[in-house]
Amino acid sequence: MAGDADGARDCYRTAARLTTSLAEQRYLERKASGLTRPPAPQR
């Protein structure tokens, strides 16, 4: 799944929802928010 930023973002957010550790939730949400979509190709 290399290059699948959307999939990775979804997985990080799901993991953040499922963990009970607040520190881990913050870490996972930061990782998810750091994943950006690549710019659309210009025409």
In a domain, 43, yes or no: no
pTM, full prediction: 0.73
pLDDT above 60: residue 14 = yes
In a domain, 21, yes or no: yes
Position 37 scores a pLDDT of 64
CA 35-15-3 angle, 5° bins: 30
Mean pLDDT of 2-30: 93
Distance CA 28, CA 43 (A): 35
Domains in the chain, number: 1
Expressed as residue numbers, the domain containing 16 is: 5-34
In a domain, 41, yes or no: no
Backbone angles phi, psi at 30, to 5 degrees: -65, -40
* Closest by Cα among 8, 2, 1, 3 to 32: 8
